[in-house]
Amino acid sequence: MLVWLARVSAVGAWAALSVAIFWAFGLGGGTRQPLTTIDTLGRIGIGLLWLRVAALWAAKAVRMWHRRKRRRVSLSKDLAPLRFRVPMTFDATPWVWVRVAAVLLLLPFAAALPCALNEMDGGEDARAIKNAGAVVATATVVGVTNAEAVEDSDGVLHHYDSDLELALPDGSRITAWGADTYEEPRTDDRVQVLWAPSAPQLGPVVRTWDLSRHVDTRTTIGGTRLFLLLFFGLFLVCSVVPISVAAEADQLHDLAWRPLAQTALPVLATLLFLWIRPLLTGVGVGGPESILPAVYGGFAVPLLLLYIGLAVRALID
């Protein structure tokens, strides 16, 4: 019973997390938070991972109890030998590799997921405007104040930060506070703005990137997310896959049923899910800079290192 509970919960966790990851990975920039369904699928997947580990620990406790009980009875030829390792099933080797491949296929998408959510989100200002019904327009600069060049530590100019008074195509005027432009803004320049006609009090957003993506919900894997997907996929092929192939199927199968080794997965999955959950709920996250460590590898590193460690563990056992 416990063995089948572990198996069913593992399949359920993989299914729920797969749907959540692939769904979130393909979201367009105009998607609004909260992403309730994806958040729910993530919580279900994490819960099933913990259920699997609980079943593994319970199965281990039962085996230890049987061991102690066996020591207290006299050995006889009528007693069948106890099996303390989970038996290979489902045609053994082929199914082991199917399970390994299913997990490894998901890893690059999971590693690149924060980048996809960041491209969808756009920061606190864009989030509020999207939820109020965002549109993109080309406005004319009619006034510039507090223009300041923004440079990095090496003195390289990145953009200009300024407050702009803008005239919209319908003749109305609106002020963009903290507008970012590549060139120093001047009167009569034309800039792209993201704003909500139903909530002009939110103000417009002027940024150096293409703002039209925040009103476009088409599925896309272009740009940074595609690069990270290919990068992590190549990293996986060059690191985890060779080690896993070098280990024999029975070693991988045995490792999959060791509760202590498998506990690391739900622990890490829970921490990473809590890290990116604000991007699903829209609560507790500020501008894009607040999740840059996650977007550019901080999220992926522990995830990939965990599976490298598990593959090495299976190889050396």
Average pLDDT over residues 298-311: 92
Rounded mean pLDDT of the chain?
A: 87
At 292 the pLDDT is 62
Nearest-Å Rg of the Cα atoms of the chain is 26
Q: Which residue's structure tokens are 């994490």?
A: 46
Q: pLDDT by residue (tens digit) across 183-214?
A: 999 999 999 999 999 999 999 999 988 888 88
Residues 272/275/278/279 CA torsion (nearest 10 deg): -70
Q: Which residue's structure tokens are 């930060």?
A: 161
Q: How confident is the model at residue 89 (pLDDT cuts 50, 70, 90)?
A: low
Beta-bridged to residue 161, according to DSSP, are 148, 180
Distance of CA 23 to the CA centre of its chain: 11
Q: pLDDT by residue (tens digit) across 212-247?
A: 888 877 766 667 888 889 999 999 999 999 999 898
Average pLDDT over residues 171-181: 92
pTM: 0.82
Residue 289 corresponds to which amino acid?
Answer: E
At 90 the pLDDT is 53
Q: Which residue's structure tokens are 């290979």?
A: 88
Beta-bridged to residue 165, according to DSSP, are 143, 175
Does the pLDDT at position 116 exceed 90?
A: no
Q: How confident is the model at residue 288 (pLDDT cuts 50, 70, 90)?
A: low
Does the pLDDT at position 55 exceed 50?
A: yes
Does the pLDDT at position 289 exceed 70?
A: no
At 79 the pLDDT is 44
The rounded distance, in Å, linking the Cα atoms of 97 and 108 is 18
170 or 204, greater pLDDT? 204
